């Protein structure tokens, strides 16, 4: 019997957080090894585990997987969160691609200066409310089902809920003009595996703080400043 998947990353969100979300949604327990020193990272490099010299790294089913999208694709397919046919998979890929773009605006937020953070906060909310959330609002209204694709829970639903909660951290009432998304958030948050992941004490990571930023900069030797969009 295969052991639990093992995740190698920092003790924070970053690109690994969507992987944590998807495993949790599938009801899969996983272990984590947090990178805290440059030496740990170099040891992984020397072992050949980091194919492109970067994390996330996930050990699963005897494989050492890198590249976030490849890892997510595998988990979604393995745990039946990737639609029932090729057309549904294409829709899931499109919707996930959109939420991925939106979350990309948030990913580097912790690494910005205080001045740039305020600019980026406004940018994130503007993009969410004018480009991305209207799409999902219309999809849910036109589709008339509880979920984005078909009538079953999928990776697309997990990813959208994660994105919604991330944007709400920047502006708490961001869904005020999106009734379909408000209802969607309530529905998906009540799914038992998701509800468990949202509870205190789970492996869901908090909003990145200064300690997280400092650790990432030290381990990856990030000596440059990130700029806002």
**Is the preceding peptide bond at 56 cis, omega within 30 degrees of 0?**
yes
Any long-range contacts for 47-56 (C-beta under 8 Å, 24+ apart)? 49/8, 55/8, 55/9, 55/10, 55/15, 55/16, 56/7, 56/8, 56/9, 56/14, 56/15, 56/16, 56/19
pLDDT of residue 36: 96
pTM, full prediction: 0.95
3-state DSSP assignment of residue 44? helix
pLDDT of residue 222: 80
- The second-level CATH assignment, the architecture, of 86-190 is Up-down Bundle (1.20)
The span from the CA of 95 to the CA of 83, in Å, is 12
Segment 57-87, tens digit of pLDDT: 999 999 999 999 999 999 999 999 999 999 9
- Which residues in the chain land under pLDDT 50? 1
Q: Do 6-79+198-220 and 86-190 fold alike per CATH?
A: no
The span from the CA of 226 to the CA of 229, in Å, is 10
The domain ranges of the chain are 6-79+198-220, 86-190
The span from the CA of 133 to the CA of 71, in Å, is 26
pLDDT of residue 122: 95
**Average pLDDT, whole number, for the chain?**
94
Superfamily of domain 6-79+198-220: Glutaredoxin (3.40.30.10)
């Amino acid at each position: 019997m295969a052991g639990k998947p093992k995740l190698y990353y920092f003790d924070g969100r970053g690109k690994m957080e969507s992987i944590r979300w998807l495993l949790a949604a599938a009801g899969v327990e996983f272990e984590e090894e947090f990178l805290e020193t440059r030496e740990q990272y170099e040891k992984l490099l020397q072992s050949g585990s980091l194919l492109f010299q970067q994390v996330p790294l996930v050990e699963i089913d005897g494989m050492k997987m890198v590249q976030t999208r490849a890892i997510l694709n595998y988990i979604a397919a393995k745990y039946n969160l990737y639609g029932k046919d090729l057309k549904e998979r294409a829709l899931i890929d499109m919707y996930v691609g959109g939420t991925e773009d939106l979350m990309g605006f948030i990913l580097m937020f912790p690494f910005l200066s205080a001045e740039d953070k305020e600019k980026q906060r406004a940018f994130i909310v503007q993009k969410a409310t004018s480009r991305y959330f209207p799409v999902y609002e219309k999809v849910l209204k036109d589709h008339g089902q509880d979920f984005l694709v078909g009538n079953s829970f999928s990776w697309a639903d997990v990813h959208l809920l994660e994105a919604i909660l991330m944007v709400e951290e920047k502006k708490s009432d961001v869904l005020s003009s999106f009734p379909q998304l408000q209802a969607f958030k309530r529905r998906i948050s009540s799914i038992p595996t998701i509800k468990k992941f949202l509870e205190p004490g789970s492996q869901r990571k908090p909003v990145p703080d200064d300690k997280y930023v400092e650790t990432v900069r030290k381990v990856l030797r990030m000596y440059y400043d990130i700029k806002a969009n």
